[in-house]
């Protein structure tokens, strides 16, 4: 409705905005709750997400994950930026089947939301994480330090982070 349109209009996009990230979040059977926790840890309305539970996960687990996203992250429903793979491909997360699954997810994200800048793959076991805002400030520091020839020590990094 109107609230969704107003909220979506408030998300900055374009060359002056932070990059839009596309995430593939992967989990296996029994990882539905961990995948939801990971999504909530990295969620930002600007970004795009596709959740993939492996082929050995049950239909009920996929249904529970979809319901959990709708209940725990109402912004995801409002911004329509989270998709769940309904029928996953069989295979293992390593080797050619893992690569095929990643490429399939990237193709789906490009079809749904072609406006993203970077593609990231995370596993349900990758939680806890640093948020995008925390990562951005640290990345800026590292880039500035490299550009200015500053020696990267723990003390200079801690000093910078404490100023943020």
pLDDT band at 91 (very low <50, low <70, confident <90, very high): low
DSSP state of 91: S
Burial class (CB in 10 A: 0-12, 13-18, 19+), 137: middle
CA 49/CA 89 separation, integer angstroms: 18
| 128 prior amide bond cis, ω within 30 | yes
Task: Using DSSP, state whether 70 is helix, strand or coil.
Answer: helix
120-148 pLDDT per residue, tens: 999 998 877 655 555 555 555 555 555 55
Between the CA of residue 158 and those of 56, 73, 133, 153, what are the distances in Å? 44, 32, 16, 9
- pTM for the model stands at 0.70
């Amino acid at each position: 409705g109107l609230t969704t349109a107003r909220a979506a209009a408030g998300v900055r996009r374009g060359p002056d905005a932070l990059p839009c990230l596309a995430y593939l979040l992967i989990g296996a059977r029994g990882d539905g709750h961990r995948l939801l926790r990971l999504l909530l840890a990295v969620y930002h309305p600007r970004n795009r997400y596709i959740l993939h539970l492996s082929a050995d996960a049950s239909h009920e687990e996929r249904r529970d994950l979809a319901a959990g996203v709708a209940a725990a992250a109402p912004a995801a429903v409002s911004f329509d930026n989270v998709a769940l793979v309904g029928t996953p491909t069989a295979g293992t997360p390593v080797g050619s089947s893992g690569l095929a699954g990643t490429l399939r997810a990237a193709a789906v994200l490009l079809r749904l939301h072609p406006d993203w800048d970077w593609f990231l793959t995370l596993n349900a076991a990758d939680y806890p994480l640093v948020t995008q805002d925390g990562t951005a400030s640290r990345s800026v520091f590292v880039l500035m330090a490299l550009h200015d020839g500053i020696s990267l020590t723990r003390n200079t990094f801690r000093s910078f982070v404490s100023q943020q």
